[in-house]
Amino acid sequence: MKAFEYFAPASLEEAFDLLDRFGPEGKLFNGGTDVVIQLRDHLIAPKAVIDIKRIPGLKTLTYDPQGGLTIGACMTMNEIGNDPQVIAHYPTLAKAALSVGSKQVRNRATCIGNIVNASPLADTSTPLLAHNAVVIARSREGERSIPLEEFFVFVRKTSLKPGEIVTAIQVPPAPGSRGEFTKISRRREVDLSTICATILKAEDGWRVAYGSVAPTPIRLKKTEALLNEGPLTDAVIEEAVELARSEVSPIDDVRATKAYRLEVVGVVLARSLRALM
Q: What residues make contact with other proteins under the rule CB under 8 A?
A: 1-6, 8, 29, 32-33, 36-37, 39-40, 49, 51, 53, 78, 101-105, 107-108, 184, 186-192, 194, 254-257, 259-260, 263-264, 267, 271
Judged by phi (left if over 0) then psi (alpha if -120 to 50, else beta), residue 204 lies in alpha
Pick the closer one to other proteins by CB: 68 or 266: 266
| Angle in degrees, CA 130, 58, 139, rounded to 5 | 85
Pick the closer one to other proteins by CB: 107 or 159: 107
Distances (CA, A) of 80 to 48, 155, 170, 240, 270: 29, 25, 13, 32, 28
What is the Cα–Cα distance from 252 to 228, expressed in whole angstroms?
A: 31
Closest CB 261 distance from other proteins, rounded Å: 9
Pick the closer one to other proteins by CB: 93 or 109: 109
Closest CB 216 distance from other proteins, rounded Å: 20
Closest CB 4 distance from other proteins, rounded Å: 6
Pick the closer one to other proteins by CB: 16 or 29: 29
What is the Cα–Cα distance from 80 to 73, expressed in whole angstroms?
A: 11
Pick the closer one to other proteins by CB: 61 or 192: 192
Closest CB 212 distance from other proteins, rounded Å: 14
Closest CB 86 distance from other proteins, rounded Å: 17
CB 111 within 8 A of CB 122: no
Pick the closer one to other proteins by CB: 170 or 185: 185
Closest CB 108 distance from other proteins, rounded Å: 5
Q: Give every strand in the sheet of 218-219, ordered side by side.
A: 178-184, 195-202, 205-211, 218-219
Ranges assigned E (strand) in the chain: 5-7, 26-29, 48-51, 61-64, 68-72, 134-139, 142-147, 152-154, 157-158, 165-171, 178-184, 195-202, 205-211, 218-219
Pick the closer one to other proteins by CB: 82 or 139: 82
Closest CB 179 distance from other proteins, rounded Å: 19
Give DSSP secondary structure letters for 123-155.
TTHHHHHHTT-EEEEEETTEEEEEEHHHHEEET
Q: What CA dihedral angle connects 125, 106, 12 and 160, to 10 degrees? A: -20
